[in-house]
Chain A
Amino acid sequence: MRLTGAQIIVESLLREGVEVIFGFPGGVILPVYDVLYESPLKHILVRHEQAAAHAADGYARATGKVGVCLVTSGPGATNVVTGVATAYMDSIPIVVITGQVPTAMIGNDSFQEADIVGITRPCTKHNYLVKDVKDLAVTLKEAFHIASTGRPGPVLVDVPKDVILAEATYHYPDKVYIRSYNPTYNGHPGQILKAAKALVKAKRPVIYAGGGVIHSGASPELLKLAKLTHAPVTTTLMGLGCFPQDSPLSLGMLGMHGAWYTNTAVSSSDLILAVGARFDDRVTGKVEEFAPGASIIHIDIDPSAISKNVRVDIPVVGDAKNVLAKLIEALEGLPERPNLKERKEWLKQIQQWKKMYPLTYERSGTVIKPQYVVEEISRLTAGEAIITTEVGQTQMWVAQFFQFTRPRSFLSSGGLGTMGYGFPAAIGAQVAFPDRLVIDIAGDGSFQMNIQELATVVHYNLPVKVAIINNRYLGMIRQWQELFFGGRYSYSEIAGTPDFVKLAEAYGAVGLRATRPEEVVPVLKKAFSIKGPVVIDFHVDPEECVFPMVPAGASIKEMILEKPSREIKRAIRAVK
C-alpha cells in the first residue's frame, strides 16, 4: 500500500506502540497534523516547543517508554534543542520529529529553515535527515531502536516537506539491524568475578548508584546486592528512587549537596562500586581527592563513561541489571564471604556519623522553611507521588528531604540543569499516569521559565500540582552570591513576579497560598483533593540556603555545614 510521508510517520508511531505525542504545529509539518486529525494517536498541544521536548522526556522518565515529540522546522526545531540536550545529558529515550523545508530549498536560508541536524549533532545520541520517503519508515524504526537501547538518549528525525508529501510503499520492519551499533549488555565474566572478589575482601565498601540503575530496571538487583554484601548505598541525583531511602543501608544522595555522613562515608571507603553513574563533577568534587583510599569498580553500559573522570580499577561494561544479577551469582558462588563483623562495624560507624551531622535545618514557627514544605509533601504522599523539580535550591531540598522509595518517581534535570524542566515534565508524567499524583516542586524563578504551560494543563485538565517554593529570589544564585561573592546580589532578586494565585485563576486553574508554617499542611491537603491543576504559592524564608555544601572544585570532605559567619565567609573568599 502506498502512503504519504505524513501517513508513514503517524502509522509508524502507532506500530511502535506510541500512545501519545507532544507537539506544536507549524508550516511544513502541517500535512502530518492533517493525518493526526483523524488518527487514534493522542496529541498534547503544548504552548512552547521546549515544553514538548520536556514533556516527552518526563513521559519517558516516568514510564521507561520512548517519549515522542513533533514540531515544525526552524524556530519549532530550535526551540526543542534545550529539551533535547536535557534528555541527552540524562540519557533519556525520546524521539523528536521535526519538519524541514523542502529538500531543494535546504541551505537557501528559506523561511523557517534551520540546520537542526547540524545544531543537535552534539546533543543527540543520533540524528537523521530523511531525504527519500522510501527511507522514512526504516529510519523511524532505527530512531526508536537507537533511542531505547544501550545507553538511552534522544534521537532526532528531520523530515523535509517534500518527503512528508511524497508517496512510498509502506514497509515497517519488525526489527532493524545496524552493523555499527551493538551495545554490550552482558558484562565480561572475568571482570565480574574480579569485582565479586574485591567486594568480599573490602572492609568499608560503598555502592554508588546512578540513573543507569533506573534505566535498566535494576533496583531489585541493587537491593539484593546491598543486603547480600551489607554495603551501604548512596545514589546520585539521577539515581534517587533506585534504592529505597527507608532502608537502613541507604545513605541518600552524595556530592555537592549530599549529607556530611554520606560524603564522609564515600571519602573513607576502601571500595566503591559504581553502577550506572558517571562520576560527575557535582559528585566527585575535586577529582584528585575523591575517595583517595578506595579501589573503584565501575559498571556501565557506555564504555566511554569508564575512566572518563576518575581512574577505574575494575571496569565492567554491560547493562546494570544483567551485570548486577551476574555479580550476585558470582558472590554466591564464591567460597569466601564478606567479614560480617567488619561490615557491621562500618555500618555502625556510618550510623554514628549520621547522628553527629544529620541532614537538618533550623525549624521555625513563624516563617515557612522550604525544607518543611518538602518534608510535608513527602510525608503526605508516602512515596506514591511522582515528583518533578526545576533546578536550583528547590531541586536540592527535594533531593535532601524527600524520601524516595521507588524508581521513576523523581524526575529532574540533573546533567544539563535546565530551569523550566519540571513543569512540562510533570505534564508528561501526568499524561502517562492520569490517576497518580504528580507534583512539580518549583522555585519561583524556574517556574516562570515555562509558566505558559499552565494553559496546557488547563486545556487537558491535567491535575498537575505545582508547589512553588517562593523566596522572591533566584535562590541558588543568591546563595552563591552570599557565600562566594560577598553578598553582592547581582540580578538575583526577581521583582515583578506575578501573583501566582491570581495567575493560576486567570488560566482557569486553582491557586492557593500559604504564608505561615501552620498553613502548609492544610493547603497541601486541599490541593491534593482537587481533581484539576493547582498552583500553590508557598511564601518561604527568602534567605534560606542549601546545606551542607561543597564549594565547586573543592574536595567533598570540605563541606560547609551551616550558614557561615561573616568571618568564615571572608575566609572562604580568601581561599577562592
Chain B
Amino acid sequence: MRHTISVLVENRFGVLSRVSGLFSGRGFNIESLSVGETQEPTISRMTIVVEGDDLIVEQIKKQLNKLIDVIKVIDLTGEEFVERELILAKVNAEPGVRAEVLRIADIFRAKVVDVTPKTYTLECTGDESKVTAFLELLKPYGIQEVVRTGKVAIARGRKAAPKVEKQPPKKLPGKVVGFRE
C-alpha cells in the first residue's frame, strides 16, 4: 500500500540523510520526497511517499520517531488530505500541433512558462491522477523532459499540524564556570 508520510524535523544539516537512511538501509525506494521550511523556520517538513506493506511502513514510522531530530511523524494515509505536485514538462510543439498542445494545457490549467519555435515548457499542478493524465495526453507529441517537485500534502479540515514547542536557544542559561586548574 502507498503511504504519504509527513515528517516534521529539525531544520539542520544531516537530517535528510538520517531520514533517507532508514529507507535505504531496508532496501526501500522512496517514490517521492520533498522538503521545505515550515512557518517556524527551525522546523522543516518532509513529505515522503513510499510503497510498502503496512507492517514495514509501521516499523519505519516508529524508526522515524526514534530519530532524535524528528519532531513528529504523521501518516496521512487513511485520513482526508490534499496532495499536490508541480511538474515542468518540455514538450515538442511543431507548428502543426502547437494549438492542440496549448488546448491540452488549457484544459489542465497548465501555464506556458517558456516557448521556443519547436517546444513549449508547461507548468502544471495537481494531484497524482491529474498530473499523470496530463502527461499521458502530451506523450503523443513527444515529451523531451519532465521535472517534478515531489508531492506535498496537507490534512483537510481545520485541524492544524500539532503544535511544536519552541526549542530554547542553544545557549542555555547555564553557569559560567572557570577551567579547573
- Which residues of A line the B interface, CB within 8 A? 1, 3, 7, 11, 14-15, 39-40, 117-118, 121-122, 125-126, 129, 134-135, 137-138, 146, 169-181, 302-304, 307-308
Contacts and interface: CB of A to CB of B under 8 A. Distances in A.
Nearest to A175: B172
B170 interface: yes
B180 A180 contact: no
Contact of A11 (B165, B166, B176, B179): B179
A178 B42 CA distance: 13
B70 A1 contact: no
B69 to A, nearest CB: 6
Contact of B167 (A11, A118, A137, A179): A179
Interface of B: 9-10, 13-14, 17-18, 21, 25, 58-59, 62-63, 65-66, 68-71, 164-168, 170-180
Given A117-B14, A179-B164, A180-B71, A1 B178 contact: yes
B66 A302 contact: yes
12 contacts: A129-B13, A170-B176, A171-B175, A172-B175, A176-B172, A180-B69, A302-B66, A303-B62, A303-B65, A303-B66, A304-B62, A304-B63
Given A179-B165, A308-B59, A40 B175 contact: no
Contacts, number: 80
A180 to B, nearest CB: 4
A7 B69 CA distance: 28
Contacts of A135: 170
B171 A138 contact: yes
Contacts of A177: 167-168, 172
A179 B71 contact: yes
A175 B173 CA distance: 10
* Interface secondary structure of A, over-half rule: mixed
Contacts of A179: 71, 164-167
Nearest to A4: B179
Given A125-B68, A178-B68, A179-B164, A304 B59 contact: yes
Contacts of A125: 68
B68 A126 contact: yes
Contacts of B65: 303-304
Contacts of B69: 180
Contact of A122 (B21, B164, B172, B180): B21
A280 to B, nearest CB: 15
B180 A14 contact: yes
Nearest to B63: A304
A167 to B, nearest CB: 11
B176 A1 contact: yes
Nearest to A306: B62
